[in-house]
Amino acid sequence: MNTNALWDVTLTDGQHSLVFYALSVAGLALFAFALRSFTTQHEVSVRYRPAIIAGMCVAAVAFLSYVVLVLKFDAGYTQTSEGWVATSNAVLSWAPRYFDWTVTVPLLVTELIAVSTLVGSTASRYRTIGVSLAVGMIVTGFIGGVAIDDGTNLGALWIWGTLSALCMVGLYVMFIFMMMRARRDMAGSSALPTFNLTIALLCVIWFAYPIVFALQGFTVTSGSYVTAQVLLSVADIIAKIGFGALIHKIAKQRTAEDIAAGIDTGHTGPIWMNGEQVAGPRAGRQNPRTGRR
């Protein structure tokens, strides 16, 4: 049984403007975060810098995908007396999201592992499993949601959506194991609550993606298309910028604690958090774990 393609709708002027606004704002926000990540990567030690670099790549790739989304959305709908009617390019106002996720979701997993307590072969094993599950989650979603009959085949949506969901469950299980390990290895660390919050944020916001995927299994309307575009734009901002900001905070907290513990981090500059210097030259006697002097 087939339904209409999610993007094959006719939009009102207001709906067209709303989608254009959501795509543009998300793209600009991602560009700003990529620039911020590039200019602040020196704030953490080289041990955790791979996480910051991965976050910068996430924002840069996502920004480029939103540039494509904006351009193809503009070209994918033609204004008529009935409204904005979809053209043959309309699918490209949607499909580039999967191109983005195929690269950025594995990088999000890499970011998290880079600031975790996993090291050596254990970190490598988790990274291999996590990246594989992340790629599998996105590729199977793309096959069912776009590649087969433009995402209109309900059978394909169910089969490939289920496979994608299984990969997602696998990632959640891995995240739980990482939280359990961090609870043991980071006991007393100021970074532990932030680490747990980061995983919780990712797990919650990722639910937006299967919800939007499921919308393709119902009667498609212009309202559902607009809802999907706006929801995914907001989810991308939170999952990439909000998550990246928390990763940066963890990296700074762990750098400060390494310095306090006398570990040679190779980091010589001061570390500032919330307007207060917590480590580095002339940092005083403040304990970066407790926030007290």
State pLDDT tens for residues 120-157: 999 999 999 999 999 999 999 999 999 999 888 989 99
User: pLDDT class for 22, splitting at 50, 70, 90?
Assistant: very high
Q: Identify whether the C-beta of residue 34 lies closer than 8 Å to the C-beta of residue 61.
A: no
Instruction: For residue 186, give the nearest of 258, 125, 90 by alpha carbon.
Output: 258
SS3 state of residue 272: strand
pLDDT for residue 281: 64
Q: What are phi and psi of 279, to 5 degrees?
A: -160, 165
CA distance 117 to 126: 11
Q: Please name the residue that has the structure tokens 């310095």.
A: 259
Residue 282 pLDDT: 60
Residues listed for the chain: 293
**What's the CATH class of domain 10-260?**
mainly alpha
pLDDT confidence bin for 1, thresholds 50/70/90: very low
Q: Averaged over 103-115, what is the pLDDT? A: 96
Q: What angle do CA 117, 251, 26 make, to 5 degrees?
A: 115
For the stretch 28-71, pLDDT in tens is 999 999 999 999 888 898 889 999 999 999 999 999 999 999 99
The string of pLDDT tens digits covering residues 181-223 is 999 999 888 899 999 999 999 999 999 999 888 888 787 889 9
% of the chain residues with pLDDT over 90: 73
Averaged pLDDT for residues 237-245: 97
* pLDDT exceeds 90 at position 173: yes
Q: pTM above 0.85?
A: yes
Q: Partners of 84 in the beta sheet?
A: 11, 79
The pLDDT of residue 289 is 52
pLDDT value at residue 214: 86
Looking at residue 2, what DSSP letter applies?
B
Neighbours of 54 (CB within 10 A): 22
Sequence-distant (≥ 6) Cβ neighbours of residue 88 within 8 angstroms: none
State pLDDT tens for residues 84-95: 999 988 999 999
pLDDT reading at 4 higher than 80: no
In the predicted structure, residue 286 carries a pLDDT above the cut 60? no
